[in-house]
Amino acid sequence: MSAEILVPEKATIFIVDDTPENLTLVSTLLKPFYRVKVATSGEKALVYFAQHEAVPDLILLDIVMPGLSGFDVIVELKKNSKIRDIPVIFLTAMSRVEDEKKGLELGAVDYITKPISPSVVLARIKTHLQNKAVADFLRDKNEYLEAEIAKRTEEISAIQYVTIFALTSLAETRDSDTGNHIRRTQHYVKALAKALQTHPRFAPYLSDTMIETLFKSAPLHDIGKVGIPDAILLKPAKLTPEEFEIMKSHTTLGKKAIEHAEEQLGMSVAFLEVAKEIAYSHHEKWDGSGYPLGLKGDEIPICGRLMAVADVYDALITKRVYKEGFSHEKAVAIILEGRGTHFDPDVTDAFRALQETFHEIAMRFSDSQRL
Ligand code: C2E
Ligand code: SIN
Ligand code: SIN
Ligand code: FE
């Protein structure tokens, strides 16, 4: 990429100088190459910038003028976000080193002393226009890329969401037409997590980011059911102990499936880490009687303890091939009965406080209301 092509077709140079002869001299020099605008005082220049949308590409600024000096003018220009990035070159009879230093400190890009050499003026202007064009190009490119990344990220999230719904619905019921159970459980988990966010036992774990991750991961809790034979998963009757042993393997199968996905991906993603933990631990019970590991109390990952309450509540109120759905009240009673045996006591208490919210979520995403 050549910087040359980035410079606007015909750049506009704005000259501020109180001496008519200087204005004429510099204008005449620049006009064959640039559009030229002039102001005969700092005040007029500032008024011009305040009143016009279009900004020049470069400003040549005299220092010693009646009224505002060039130094005063540049200070004002740097306060205006529209003008701030326009390169300013001081063009002046002063040639003291301190003035040059001050001019550069105030944000000028260059400093040319009079009497001017036409070729030096043209060369410096060209250089600074190119620098500016490259800077603009990089900034625009950066903004473009950021916008593009935001858009792609949104698309990927949407795809991720849809894929999860499709896969997990299929895994759980062999029915690609339902996704409401998945929606409900993710909302239950989020409600529990939010309620426990200030609880000393849970606060360190439940950051806002973690709650969002839990919300996204929760739908994968039963992904392992994809590996359970239809004859067991869809059996319209009580499972035999042998069948239930196979059923229990959905936790380990889910963990392995997600692990496999992570290996394929070649990196660790928070969402999959948490999904894996939920899949593996959502059937553990507080008293150690759960599966697959028989973990007890705080040994059970927090995400699994939240998921257990969400999952069982939803299983209870929902009609399954093997059972009728219970009423909300009956479901609540069963969960509360499991306080300290099946469920973490504090999570159960949060559920007790949130039971109306659970009911609302259940109604909002009820199975009768298909997408
Ligand atoms: P699921 O249907 O999603 O149920 C999840 C959990 O909700 C169950 O885990 C259990 O803790 C609770 N739950 C569900 N229904 C009831 C109920 O009527 N009463 C009580 N107290 N709790 C209930 P669990 O038992 O480990 O089962 C895991 C999965 O195994 C179930 O997921 C379901 O897919 C399957 N399953 C369990 N029992 C049977 C059955 O008798 N027949 C069939 N076909 N599948 C079963
Ligand atoms: C659902 O996926 O919406 C719940 C499954 C069911 O109706 O049993
Ligand atoms: C069921 O068999 O209905 C679920 C198992 C349980 O009651 O824990
Ligand atoms: Fe499960």
Mean residue pLDDT across the chain: 90
User: What's the pLDDT at 176?
Assistant: 54
Centre of ligand 2 to C-alpha 234, Å, is 12
The percent of residues in the chain predicted with pLDDT above 90, rounded, is: 67
Mutate to test the pocket of ligand 2, among 164, 172, 176, 233 (most ligand atoms within 8 A of CB): 172
pLDDT class of 175 with cuts at 50, 70, 90: low
Nearest ligand to the C-alpha atom of residue 316: 1
- Residue 156 and residue 185 in contact, taking contact as beta carbons nearer than 8 Å: no
The reply to whether ligand 2 has any atom less than 6 angstroms from the CB of 318 is yes
The percent of residues in the chain predicted with pLDDT above 70, rounded, is: 92
User: What's the pLDDT at 153?
Assistant: 83
Does residue 7 have a pLDDT over 60? no
User: What's the pLDDT at 341?
Assistant: 98
Does residue 16 have a pLDDT over 70? yes
User: What's the pLDDT at 368?
Assistant: 66
User: What's the pLDDT at 51?
Assistant: 93
Q: Is the dihedral of CA 145, 150, 152, 156 positive or negative?
A: positive
Region for residue 347 given its phi and psi (left: phi exceeds 0; alpha: psi -120 to 50; beta: otherwise): alpha
User: What's the pLDDT at 218?
Assistant: 93
Rounded distance between C-alpha atoms, residue 146 and residue 159, angstroms: 20
Centre of ligand 4 to C-alpha 283, Å, is 6
Q: pTM of this prediction? A: 0.66
The reply to whether ligand 1 has any atom less than 6 angstroms from the CB of 321 is yes
Mutate to test the pocket of ligand 1, among 320, 332, 335 (most ligand atoms within 8 A of CB): 320
Q: What is the DSSP letter of 218?
A: G
**Mean local confidence (pLDDT), 316-342:** 94
pLDDT class of 3 with cuts at 50, 70, 90: very low
Domains and CATH numbers, the chain: 3-145 (3.40.50.2300), 173-364 (1.10.3210.10)
Does residue 171 have a pLDDT over 80? no
The answer to which of 29-43, 52-66, 88-102 has the lowest mean pLDDT is: 88-102
Please give the single-letter amino acid code of residue 134.
V
User: What's the pLDDT at 100?
Assistant: 82
Nearest ligand to the C-alpha atom of residue 333: 1
Centre of ligand 1 to C-alpha 317, Å, is 12
Complete edge-to-edge strand list for the sheet that includes strand 35-39: 35-39, 12-16, 58-61, 88-92, 110-113
The answer to which of 90-94, 117-121, 196-200, 254-258 has the lowest mean pLDDT is: 90-94
